[in-house]
Amino acid sequence: MTDRKKMTLPMLFQKVAQGVPITWLTGYDYPTAFLEDQAGVDMILVGDSLGMTMLGFDSTLPVTMDDMIRHAAAVRRGAPNAWVVGDMPYMSYQPSVETAIRNAGRFMAEAGCDCVKLEGGAEVADRVAGIARAGIPVIGHLGLTPQSATALGGFRLQGKDAARAKKIVDDAAALADAGAFAVLLELVPDRLCQLITERSNGTIILSLGSGPHAHGQLLIYHDAFALYPKFKPRMAKVFADAGAVIAEGLAAYVDEVTQRTFPAPANWFGMPDDAYEELIRMLEDAPAR
Ligand code: KIV
């Protein structure tokens, strides 16, 4: 087991000041969080993408706060030292500032998260401000925001033309002014991400599919390890084909059980002769049922 210090907000800012990119991955369960923490991943996002990657829905919209709390608490148990981000699911912050603060509080109190993330720009600045005022660190999320994928025309590059790019620049500033300590830019052009990073003035800018110029990178765990069967986005790199390794193992399992080569003696437990013989005597004396 590696010995690492608990990641803190000052440590994240220190990485930025030193020009060392922040590493961020999604994680949704205890064993994955354990591996990510041991690998030294700085931040773990318990994303509402779990609706797709873990629960098999076609979008993130059906995910509830209770789903998120369950998974976030498991991640916290597996990753005591990473900076754990609770992703606010659909309708957990949109209705009102109070709803947003209460649900952000649940991530902190019930799941032990270090901060929360929510989607949207200037239109959610009051939610961000309320959460930040409640003492909860907040990350904003711009560009491709999956909860509004329908309104954005699907899962596609955002901010391609000057007017839309300007809106994203303005939204990043609005989130920073409202108190977001970081802003995630998902699937925007690299030059737009670079520009926002250069203008960020104390706000940490993180990239998912938005190029190399941000202060850190995020990837969806299932994309990075080929574990999502439905599609592989271009922005993701497969760092290890865990899906293929598991598929191979599953085929071997089915084969060995079918061929009776599993289990082997090393996989079971025997019973002492005297206990077994006594059991047989007891059963002989007992009426068959
Ligand atoms: O839910 C999630 O994993 C996210 C990422 C797509 C940024 O919000």
In this predicted model, what pLDDT tens digit does every residue of 206-240 receive, in sequence order?
Answer: 999 999 999 999 999 999 999 998 888 888 999 99
pLDDT, tens digit, 9 for 90 and up, residues 38-76: 999 999 999 999 999 999 999 999 999 999 999 999 999
The three-class DSSP label of residue 280 is helix
Query: Averaged over 112-117, what is the pLDDT?
Result: 98
pLDDT of residue 154 exceeding 90: no
The three-class DSSP label of residue 64 is coil
pLDDT, tens digit, 9 for 90 and up, residues 187-210: 999 999 999 999 999 999 999 999
Q: Write the residue with the smallest CA distance to atom 3 of ligand 1.
A: 47
CA distances from 34 to 40, 56, 114, 173 (A): 10, 23, 16, 35
pLDDT at residue 175 in the model: 98
The three-class DSSP label of residue 213 is coil
CA distances from 147 to 22, 30, 49, 104 (A): 25, 25, 10, 17
pLDDT of residue 78 exceeding 80: yes
- Judge whether 186 counts as a catalytic residue: yes
pLDDT at residue 286 in the model: 80
Ligand 1 atom nearest 117 alpha carbon:
8
Is the CB of residue 73 less than 8 Å from the CB of residue 28?
Answer: no
pLDDT at residue 201 in the model: 92
pLDDT at residue 150 in the model: 84
Q: Write the residue with the smallest CA distance to atom 4 of ligand 1.
A: 47
Catalytic position from the list 36, 119, 186, 256 = 186
Ligand 1 center–CA 244 separation, angstroms: 24
- The structure tokens listed for 223 are 């994309």
Lowest mean pLDDT among 1-5, 101-105, 146-150, 252-256: 1-5
pLDDT of residue 152 exceeding 90: no
What is the band of 288 on the pLDDT scale with cuts at 50, 70, 90? confident
Q: Write the residue with the smallest CA distance to atom 2 of ligand 1.
A: 47
pLDDT at residue 272 in the model: 98
Is the CB of residue 41 less than 8 Å from the CB of residue 53?
Answer: no
